[in-house]
Amino acid sequence: MKPLKIALLGCGVVGTEVVRLLHEQAADLAARVGAPLELAGIAVRRKDKRREGIAPELLTTDATGLVTRPDVDIVVEVIGGIEPARSLLLDAMKSGKSVVTANKALLAEDGATLFGAAREHGTDIYYEASVAGAIPLLRPLRESLVGDHVHRVMGIVNGTTNYILDKMDSSGAGFSEALEEAQALGYAEADPTADVEGFDAAAKAAILAQLAFHTRVTAADVHREGIADVTSADIASARAMGCVVKLLAICDRVPSEGGRNGRGVSVRVHPVMIPRTHPLASVREAYNAVFVEAQSAGSLMFYGAGAGGAPTASAVLGDLVAVARNRVNGTRGPAESTYADLPVLPMADTITRYHVSLDVADRPGVLARVADAFAEHDVSIQAVRQEGYGQEAQLVIVTHRAPDGALSATVANLRDQEIVREVASVMRVEGDE
């Protein structure tokens, strides 16, 4: 059968591995698709850079020319960022090409424009590699679970931050030391802001929530807090409670009285204390893991390598085979589904538990006044522990479930009290009470 021609945009960490797999597995891929997959060209920024295993004649800096070439059938985008990736993908779909992308930043910021173009031009857009690298997660949500009612997706979707928090927990390293180690091992970027501040995880959370709940969610809708303020004291405090600190992406369908679809969705990324017995607590180093809870399927867990050239290229190749098969069969994959049109609820309405550490004066009546502040805002206390005494006293309070807004008001109240020297840390707690 006539070969299907592939334009590859980007030949960095992921693109290089895509090229290697296309060569190494050419015969198997052709048999699985029903037609050979042939690289038509590779767009890069620096054409003269030496690249092991890449035929120089395939390289070009004219990405627009490559994606609109009449002989190209499928465009694979692994450049990253918003522009020129968005314009290139739009040009490709306008020219009738199917597209595969690993670009979570773009999908989470402006997925609507991309999905709109796919609909308008009758093309496929697949993006399995954009969330959790090698782990098959988006296709299960988009296809396998499409007959079920998903009410929660919660997981570790950023390898760099998981590595840092794991090192802080297992070796007692401070944040900066653990970050340096992550950079030395190549997990974190030279500028690790997107990982450490939670932007990368927030983009992935938006993509997951949109697929799970069939409603539009963008990165701007996601409540985001990173891990830069997590201290060794927080890690030690979590340990004392039998917990570990993880940066989690949590997407919930918030129920309403009697309404099946719920009142809306809550989508957030922030550090969380979870019990050491929780399956997510055992996810070490740079691995990712995601829990999906659905009405009929129950709880499912997806685990594996969330980043790296070869694991991410595996997901890209899976998409490439899927869109190539669709072209051979003259069909298309499932279109975007946002029919539920649910509002994204403010963080203040999110209900969870909290761990609050206070530096206080150790004298009679202090605990009663602290407890009053919680009671005033209807936040019920589950446990109280005092560490140290005299001028060094610290009260650690764990609450029952309460709205985030009520907890914020409690903390503001505590900050105003003369008996509270400092609100040392506030962290949310997940897992059974």
Interface size with ligand HSE, residues (CB under 6 A)? 9
Q: On the CB side of 432, how many CA atoms lie within 13 Å of its CA?
A: 4
Distance CA(29)–CA(8), nearest Å, equals: 17
Burial of 180 (0-12, 13-18, 19+ CB in 10 A): middle
Interaction with ligand HSE in 286-315: which residues (CB under 6 A)? 306-307
Told to check if 262 binds ligand NDP by CB under 6 A, we report no
Partner whose binding site includes residue 91, from ligand HSE, ligand NDP, none (CB under 5 to 8 Å by kind): none
The least distance separating ligand HSE from the CB of residue 219, rounded to whole angstroms, comes to 14
Told to check if 11 binds ligand NDP by CB under 6 A, we report yes
Instruction: Tell which one of 17, 128, 166, 195 touches ligand HSE (CB under 6 A).
Output: 195
Q: What track of x and - describes contact with ligand HSE for positions 128 through 167 (by CB under 6 A)? A: -----x------------------------xxx-------
Q: Which residue is nearest to ligand NDP (CB)?
A: 12
Give the residue with the Cβ less far from ligand HSE, 3 or 12: 12
Element (H, E) at 166: helix 159-171
Give the residue with the Cβ less far from ligand NDP, 36 or 304: 304
Decide if 427 contacts 372 (C-beta within 8 A).
no
**Contact residues for 163 (Cβ-Cβ < 8 A; gap 6+):** 178, 181, 182, 185, 187, 188, 285, 286
Q: Is 167 a catalytic residue?
A: no
Give the residue with the Cβ less far from ligand NDP, 58 or 347: 58
Please state the length of the chain.
433
Nearest 5°: the CA angle 357, 360, 361 is 165
Distance CA(156)–CA(162), nearest Å, equals: 7
The residue behind tokens 């093309």 is 123
Interaction with ligand HSE in 199-228: which residues (CB under 6 A)? 200
Told to check if 10 binds ligand HSE by CB under 6 A, we report no
Neighbours of 56 (CB within 10 A): 10
Interaction with ligand NDP in 113-142: which residues (CB under 6 A)? 129, 133
Q: Which of 342, 346, 394, 343 is nearest to 367 (CA)?
A: 394
Give the residue with the Cβ less far from ligand NDP, 14 or 29: 14
Told to check if 4 binds ligand NDP by CB under 6 A, we report no
DSSP state of 201: H
Residues that bind ligand NDP (CB under 6 A): 10-15, 43-46, 49, 63, 78-80, 84, 102-104, 129, 133, 307-308, 312
Residues that bind ligand HSE (CB under 6 A): 133, 158-160, 187, 195, 200, 306-307
Catalytic sites, residue numbers: 204
